[in-house]
Structure 1
Amino acid sequence: MIGYLVLALFALFAVTYFMGRRRALTSVSGEISKLHSLPSHHGMFLGLAAAGPALIAVAIWSIATPGIESSIIKSRFAAELAGLGIPQVEAFVRDARAIAFGGLVGFTDATKEAAAIAYRSIHQTSIAIILALSAVLAAAGFYLAYSRIAPAYRARHVVERVLKIFLILCSVVAILTTVGIVLSLIFESLRFFQQVPFYKFLFGLHWSPQSAFTGAGTEAGAVDPNIFGAVPLFVGTLLITLIAMLVAAPIGLMSAIYLSDYASRSVRAVAKPVLEILAGIPTVVYGFFAALTVAPFFRGLGESVGLGVASESALAAGVVMGIMIIPFVSSLSDDVINAVPQSLRDGSAGLGATKSETIRKVVLPAALPGIVSAMLLAVSRAIGETMIVVMAAGLAANLTLNPLEAVTTVTVQIVTLLVGDQEFDSAKTLAAFALGLVLFCITLALNIIALRVVQKYREQYD
């Protein structure tokens, strides 16, 4: 229902835009020069006034309503929920919401059914309220804005002011989202480090969070900190990323050099889109390819020369991941190389340098900042990949540098720890936030290094 309401508001914006434009033209008998603002500004003004407040109300309603509805359900069924912990109460409300909207739950009872009926009734009431409020706001906004459209009205100033505020809000949302992510990682990680020492997590060599509360020699309910050593995860992540970059970096960079300096226009027009198709393939398809084709190929190849290759190996995952990120390196490097001024190439050729010498000694050094950025993006993409590792490298946290053995990565373990209903006060679940914090710090360090490189060479070639 809300989706239809949003679509109706966008349709209202389109209709009122043309109505405002037409009224502005009519008010001056078609002589645009008599208008203070362009007809499009008047149309935009009427469209924003008619649909904007209603859209804001719908957005606020969408954010606030779930919490309000859940609070009402908790208060109505406070007697039935008395004695239950916070996780059980949240699970009850979640099941009631699922039943109310036709979802499936593990089990149900009379209390949940009654809560679902109440939840459905409350939700229908809130929808009726937001529909009525949206209609009132749209009608009032349309009336006030339509009556103001006149030759001397400064619609452009109003529209530009509204768009400026919108852009500022978008920037604020992006900043607050980043701050929220960082703070959530830090606070949850601090809760984890209260149970597991920081040094045992960073330098421990054994990772087995599934047995967090069954460690030998620990008291009942106590946490064994010795099973939260994340070094195997860091080593596995770096190993697979290294293999992926050994595949993607040379192939992607050489492809970019060929497409930018050697390929004809007809070849480039075909080769570049075909190469970039790799970026549009879902990662799960790459995972199938790695598990069903690449991994058996490497295992058979290893057996033919007397090497033991695991069914799920870092080599298979790294090679397929490298193929996946080739377009990131190739496309970005190609754009950067093409951005190098032609005058540098002409000057090098005028001094007697060959084409290959010009590329090696002039073009690539000038394009180095952009190439470093492309490599950094590829590394970040490789570090954050999950599906390929799950299907081709496995879940075993082995501490090894042998690419022929099974390993796992930080992102895979984060997903594994957060699958299903979790208690966010246990070390097993909080370990995912600690892993995320370390991953964030590593990525931040890579970005800082890349910025330093970019600044150094940009001063030389600008």
Structure 2
Amino acid sequence: MPLLWLFAILLALTLAGYGAGRRRAVASAGGDIRRLHSRPIYYGLNVALAALVPALLVLFVWLLIQPVVVESRVSGLIPEIAISDSTTRSLVMSDVRRLADGLDAVVEQGEIGSDAVQGLQVGDEIRALLGRAGVALASDVQPAVLAAAQRYRMISARGDLARSIAVLLLAVAGLVFALSRISRDFRARNRVERAVLALLIGAASIAILTTGGIVLSMLFETVNFFGQYPARDFFFGTTWSPNFRGNSQLGILPLLWGTLYISFIALLLAVPVGLFSAIYLSEYAGPRVRTLIKPLIEVLAGIPTIVYGLFALVTVGPLLRDYFAQPLGLGSSGSSVMTAGLVMGIMLIPFVSSLSDDVINAVPQTMRDGSYALGATKSETIQQVIVPAALPGIVGAILLAASRAIGETMIVVLGAGAAAKLDLNPFEAMTTITVKIVSQLTGDTDFASPETMVAFALGLTLFVITLALNVVALIIVRKYREQYE
């Protein structure tokens, strides 16, 4: 059964349970809803949640587990002889999944029956069928791959059928159980509120669980990487020269230097401009000027980064090369740290400006009035009252901008180049960690090689850097924040 149909049936059961719960509650009170413990809507919601929530939880878990189980069972059917020296079992399994999807497309378009698919043999017939269904194959289908794909389809179909039956039975059981417990003294409102509280706690836990999953996924692969490549050479090596044929030098220092150098230049532009514009908008600009300027600044945040990258490549890079780098003898390339840093700084201005403006506006007006009453000028009030009071939010805005700068990719690719080196010249081409993560994971590469798994070590390093920024910001806020009653 397709997932869309399953969701539609669950929705119908939920609505039916809601209506049945309301009617049963009213009937248990003899038609007088004043005799009920809770309002009729809570009885209906209790039945609806009992039918929907457990079924959705089982469906979610099933969707996560079934692909893993199917692949583990099918992968063992592929003989070692079917795996060549240039491929791995994971790449063969990719072909199996692609071929299984193609066979499903053939069945859906009516080219052949579902049972007949299991009897197909390697030859021109299967290629013709897939061609008529619009499924193209890069090479001939091997018998072992076809057999694995047929097995994959069969196990997946059985799993889908079992999933649909289990989910629907659970939904019906929950609906019947909830209906059987309804009486006029049943505390339906308490049950619904506890269910809503659990839902809110689950929503709040998603961010924590997601962060934990990201860290663990990177950590496991990073451990595998350091099992093949020395950690000392990775953290202290000054040469980045990956080679998928072996003898790679994977030192992170050139990438880390390029990341911090470009981010520093970007923040050097974005923080003063963004903070000063926020102070002007909140303390000096009139309502009409603020209404006009603030949306114009925020437009910068909506521009795609690829557009900023093209702007760096076509306009800013040649401008810096022709008027600064070449006349000063500092370089002859339009791709440089300065190009990427300046364009990235322009992109970060709205992050600093908008957040700082909102935080400054949140400072109570009574604090301003008290400062003016003591004889302070506007500039003194801003410096000694407003900025200290808004410091946590300002630091948060700067931290957000720094994290955004460290994680930027497209501007660096088009504006700074791809050269991994240690250099102080801001008009030389350099690169960042994020660019190399993309390059190491791009293409048909072996995910068991250190040249590919190094991307996870680079990602974990970026995570640690961001975490350190958060810790430093927290220390600064606690030390310099002004406390007010």
Q: Which amino acid aligns with 1:143?
A: V
Given the alignment, which residue of 250, 256, 266 partners 1:228? 250
* CA shift for structure 1 position 409: 0.3
For residues 210-225 of structure 1, the aligned pairs below 5 Å read 210=243, 213=246, 223=247
The answer as to 2:376 corresponding to 1:343 is no
For residues 392-411 of structure 1, the aligned pairs below 5 Å read 392-411=415-434
Structure 1 counterpart of 2:91: 91
Q: Does the CA contact (< 8 Å) of 1:370 and 1:454 recur in 2? A: no
Given the alignment, which residue of 245, 253, 263 partners 2:275? 253
* Residues 330-366 of structure 1: CA deviation (Å, up to 9, x unaligned): 1221121112121110011112222222112211121
Given the alignment, which residue of 270, 273, 286 partners 2:308? 286
Structure 1 counterpart of 2:149: 116
CA distance 1:398–1:211, shift in 2 (3 Å): farther
* CA shift for structure 1 position 161: 2.8
CA distance 1:27–1:108, shift in 2 (3 Å): farther
* Residues 258-316 of structure 1: CA deviation (Å, up to 9, x unaligned): 22222333433443334323323332232233223332333343378455342322222
Structure 2 counterpart of 1:107: 139
The answer as to 2:155 corresponding to 1:133 is no
Structure 1 counterpart of 2:132: none
Structure 2 counterpart of 1:42: 43
**CA distance in 1 between partners of 2:34 and 2:332 (Å):** 78
**CA distance in 1 between partners of 2:307 and 2:164 (Å):** 42
* CA shift for structure 1 position 32: 5.0
Q: Which amino acid aligns with 1:140?
A: A
**CA distance in 1 between partners of 2:75 and 2:220 (Å):** 27
CA distance 1:105–1:453, shift in 2 (3 Å): farther
Unpaired stretches in structure 1, ≥5 consecutive residues: 214-222
**CA distance in 2 between partners of 1:85 and 1:18 (Å):** 62
**CA distance in 2 between partners of 1:105 and 1:320 (Å):** 43
**CA distance in 2 between partners of 1:350 and 1:61 (Å):** 66
**CA distance in 2 between partners of 1:403 and 1:212 (Å):** 33
Q: Does the CA contact (< 8 Å) of 1:49 and 1:142 recur in 2? A: yes
Structure 2 counterpart of 1:388: 411
Unpaired stretches in structure 2, ≥5 consecutive residues: 103-134
Q: Which amino acid aligns with 1:319?
A: L
The answer as to 2:479 corresponding to 1:444 is no
* CA shift for structure 1 position 41: 2.3
The answer as to 2:476 corresponding to 1:453 is yes
* CA shift for structure 1 position 72: 2.9
CA distance 1:404–1:198, shift in 2 (3 Å): same
Q: Does the CA contact (< 8 Å) of 1:235 and 1:401 recur in 2? A: no
Q: Does the CA contact (< 8 Å) of 2:83 and 2:89 recur in 1? A: no
* Residues 408-457 of structure 1: CA deviation (Å, up to 9, x unaligned): 00111112112234334432123222222322222221111111111123
CA distance 1:6–1:280, shift in 2 (3 Å): farther
* CA shift for structure 1 position 236: 0.5
Q: Does the CA contact (< 8 Å) of 2:83 and 2:92 recur in 1? A: no
* TM-score, normalization by structure 2: 0.83
* CA shift for structure 1 position 208: 0.8
**CA distance in 2 between partners of 1:408 and 1:388 (Å):** 10
Give the RMSD, CA atoms, in angstroms: 3.0
CA distance 1:4–1:305, shift in 2 (3 Å): farther
Structure 1 counterpart of 2:377: 354
**CA distance in 2 between partners of 1:422 and 1:31 (Å):** 70
* Equivalent position SS for 1:151: coil
* Equivalent position SS for 1:210: coil
* Equivalent position SS for 1:441: helix
For residues 238-387 of structure 1, the aligned pairs below 5 Å read 238-302=260-324, 305=327, 308-387=331-410
**CA distance in 1 between partners of 2:265 and 2:16 (Å):** 55
CA distance 1:117–1:191, shift in 2 (3 Å): closer
**CA distance in 2 between partners of 1:166 and 1:91 (Å):** 39
Structure 2 counterpart of 1:201: 234
**CA distance in 1 between partners of 2:11 and 2:339 (Å):** 48
* CA shift for structure 1 position 392: 1.8
Q: Which amino acid aligns with 2:252?
A: A
* Residues 57-101 of structure 1: CA deviation (Å, up to 9, x unaligned): 2112210111122133234x3447677799622222221111222
Q: Which amino acid aligns with 1:261?
A: E
**CA distance in 2 between partners of 1:116 and 1:175 (Å):** 37
